[in-house]
Structure 1
Amino acid sequence: MLGSKQSASVPTPVSFTARQKSRVLEVVFDDGAEFSLPFELMRVYSPSAEVQGHGEGQQTLQTGKRNVTLAALDPVGNYGVKPTFSDGHESGIFTWSYLYKLGREQDALREDYFQRLDAAGHGREAGRDLSMTTKKAGGHGCG
């Protein structure tokens, strides 16, 4: 399970751009790191209790989220954002450290997700088109 505990050494986002057509959230951090986080990845790894459960091993496999979009992205204090997804899910708070971790680990998380889909008999086509690239170029505005 990914932790969502905030650390003082974690970079802070300086811009967010939601790309509805490609279904990714571009996040630029103040240390220069830039990530394109697919909405599907964010949805299936939501830090909410609905997805993560209340303890280790209680995670619920999220299926059918391939085409989920981001309906809203609201700030939560100075430490995170609360996305609302097109399927109505809105209970997860993504702290800066959690967003950064999702960005850094998205390739491994994607593969873990596909393996769990396969093991549950859902097949990889449920999300195989996820574009999991870490961007290095700048020029993104707030969105």
Structure 2
Amino acid sequence: MTTKHRPTEIHLHQKSRVLELVYDNGVRHKLPCEFLRVYSPSAEVTGHGPGQEVLQLGKEDVNINAIEPVGNYAVKLVFSDGHDTGIFDWNYLYRMGEDQDALWQKYLKRLADAGHQRKVN
């Protein structure tokens, strides 16, 4: 896999629960920890195939406890709820930043369809 955009800076803002990435092309993404957690690329979240996604509930207060490098192509995020099996490669993180608004709206719709009310902080 070819990495199109590699972050040159990664900052975790634990108080605001936001992971900030600055890329080699000057783009900056600020990704909330909850957003990253509910879109973790792990099998626990995505399932083992299309249509097997598992809706993540109650992740409003989740934070990131650790960021561990995986080679030179990704990071493993260790979340405060114990989830640590997702490997976030640079391309995936970049796409998440670019598509953040649409992905977030899709998640909110899935929650509403499931009858779940997000806790507002």
Larger relative strand fraction: 2
* Same-fold status (TM-score > 0.5): yes
Who is 1:52 aligned against? 46
Structure 2: gaps of 5 or more residues: none
Who is 1:7 aligned against? 2
Of 61, 64, 87 in structure 2, the residue corresponding to residue 70 of structure 1 is: 64
CA RMSD after TM alignment: 1.1
Q: Deviations over 1:87-124 (max 9, x none)?
A: 0000000000000001000000110000000000102x
Question: Structure 2-normalised TM-score?
Answer: 0.96
Q: Runs ≥4 in structure 1, deviation > 6 angstroms? A: none
Deviation at 1:76, TM superposition (A): 0.2
Who is 1:111 aligned against? 105
Who is 2:26 aligned against? 32
Amino acid aligned to 2:14: Q
Aligned pair count?
121
Deviation at 1:19, TM superposition (A): 0.4
Q: RCO greater where, 1 or 2, for CA within 8 Å and sep 6 or more? A: 1
Of 79, 89, 94 in structure 1, the residue corresponding to residue 88 of structure 2 is: 94
Amino acid aligned to 1:75: P
Who is 1:140 aligned against? none
